[in-house]
Structure 1
């Protein structure tokens, strides 16, 4: 079992819930009791189990002899207490952490100080007077923390109903979060920007909501975490009479699980308006079919299929034979037979340049909407798989193995493939790759680092299930 540097740990947990793969890996490779308690506290917070999180944070503060871990755990306790209206206890803990700030190193300060400033603004009417003050600006070298501070500043302008200035600050914070990258702050900034400007400037809100839809698809799976963001997108699309409204409604209803989805999302996807839109896109996309063939059509097909929440029934038929033959006329004829197939075809041919939309927002240019007309949520998910399988070996075998999986196996394997790319950043700790994971990566020419990060994005029992799936891809 290993001992992990707390400085490296800070660089990891600064990503919030996005650090889950590394946290899971550390938990399987350490016996440091106080570190285990702290990591379990974080995981409980990410699952919105705040009572459980507080229990683990309390265990850290009563067992650790390490100042940094103690202060990090105390920070989580303060946030939980304020959010649960335990104001007196929250202020007691806040006083403790303030008194210890000077004894912390720069690494710890860059997380704790901006978090305190954010809480100071969010809970300003609940915090005892003069408890929090501004310390050295050393921590501002972190893009994630700069993002948090921009959002804190934006909230001040919201209080004064200066929505345009708040919008600009949310976008500045988004840009910092994107450079980090910090997925929760990326989407939080876009969500707030779109929501607060929606009744003031429709074009600004629509641009931002479209960008938010793409980033949700790129970074997130769990509707419990992202439902409110979809709610914002729905309202913005509705205000703008934007065709993407039907796809957002469909996605929310397909993703719902133990969540009461608002009735407003019950839209008929294949209504006359959307059918007309699907047919129009299909005719345009036929002209682009040669481009996608040059880009490796079977992988584009697989990437599109795996991006969908509910899989189309037509893939149970002879479609793989048609795909592998590569006859563009047969493919066009096949996909033109009904609207479900045309919709799928449009997704295969659709692309989206996120950078163009970001540049337009940063340059305050909202006159031209650069959108594909297809769901950016699905396009983002498709793009993740395309990146992963760009240089794949044994392509046909991989695809055949995939379509031989059961529906439950496909579901977890799809998430695994997307997570392989989502979590591929410069972590200070990289999990070890060995056994079937290494064999899988080598056989199909997929980056080993990506494979192991995707693997540890799952919990213990899910990893056992994933082991059995990966084993099927290693059979001849």
Structure 2
């Protein structure tokens, strides 16, 4: 891998969408096969599933290293899961069988994708996250905790789910990782909106504030505004979103 691509990956995995300017720079000036991976990341941010899969397939034809190959396969896995493609489990089993041969940086991305979607019930195959090094990486820990919270929520263990999300938010806020911050806040608001609407509203407002502060994904704002509107409508809270920020933490 080129030094530029390594630097882009380091910032991307640490800060998520906040690394967008560097990712765009990498698309223009990194090596050809590296560019395909970064283009897939950009397409993902735009929620352009068709373009993502096309770019992945092109990139796999030009991949010159195992790292690029498995980074692209990780993105392919993400797209297949999102679209409910019947090839998902086959690719998952292939990745699991070859897991020990996958370069560490690609392995971390695969684990994050698999963990999140396994706990959501979208995949049957699971790859264990017992490796100590994954829990030494704050960005990886954040998404593992968000995934664990989803599992607790599906089991109706709301207080445990909320605990994981609060911890995930605090870690993401220190990094900072805006995408993870928003996911944790939005999920927390959704999980408790029926029993604790006032607290849910605080989570939602903090989420909207965070998006405004970091200029985060426009697509993500729709979900956060939706939960904010849902709580206000269901419980008759009429104050405006502009009264942010009541910090929930």
Normalised by the length of structure 1, the TM-score is 0.48
Change in Cα spacing, 1:10 to 1:26, as seen in structure 2 (3 Å) is closer
What CA distance in whole angstroms lies between the structure 2 residues aligned with 1:135 and 1:55?
A: 33
**Could you say which residue in structure 1 is the equivalent of 2:170?**
175
- Larger mean Cα displacement after TM superposition, 143-152 or 232-241: 232-241
What CA distance in whole angstroms lies between the structure 1 residues aligned with 2:203 and 2:217?
A: 21
1:7-406 equivalent positions in 2, closer than 5 A: 7-14=6-13, 15-30=15-30, 32-87=31-86, 89-124=87-122, 126-128=123-125, 132-220=127-215, 223-238=218-233, 239=235, 241-244=237-240, 247=242, 357-358=247-248, 361=249
- Larger mean Cα displacement after TM superposition, 75-84 or 219-228: 219-228
Q: 1:38, CA displacement in angstroms?
A: 1.1
What CA distance in whole angstroms lies between the structure 2 residues aligned with 1:72 and 1:143?
A: 20
Q: 1:79, CA displacement in angstroms?
A: 1.3
**Structure 1 stretches of 4+ moved >6 Å:** none
What CA distance in whole angstroms lies between the structure 1 residues aligned with 2:124 and 2:179?
A: 25
Q: CA RMSD in A?
A: 2.4
CA contact (8 A) 1:64 1:70 kept: yes
CA contact (8 A) 1:202 1:240 kept: no
**Could you say which residue in structure 2 is the equivalent of 1:420?**
none
How many residue pairs get aligned? The number is: 247
Change in Cα spacing, 1:5 to 1:96, as seen in structure 2 (3 Å) is farther
CA contact (8 A) 1:110 1:139 kept: yes
Q: Which has the higher relative contact order, 1 or 2, with Cα contacts under 8 A spaced 6 or more apart?
A: 2
The Cα offsets for residues 245-285 of structure 1, whole Å up to 9 and x where unpaired, read as 5x59xxxxxxxxxxxxxxxxxxxxxxxxxxxxxxxxxxxxx
Q: 1:23, CA displacement in angstroms?
A: 1.2
The structure with more radius of gyration: 1
What CA distance in whole angstroms lies between the structure 2 residues aligned with 1:71 and 1:152?
A: 22
Normalised by the length of structure 2, the TM-score is 0.88
The Cα offsets for residues 212-259 of structure 1, whole Å up to 9 and x where unpaired, read as 1211211226543311111111222342624125x59xxxxxxxxxxx
Structure whose residues are more often helix by fraction = 2
Q: 1:153, CA displacement in angstroms?
A: 0.8
SS in 2 for 1:28: helix
Identify unmatched segments of 5+ residues in structure 1.
Answer: 249-350, 362-476
What CA distance in whole angstroms lies between the structure 2 residues aligned with 1:220 and 1:232?
A: 19
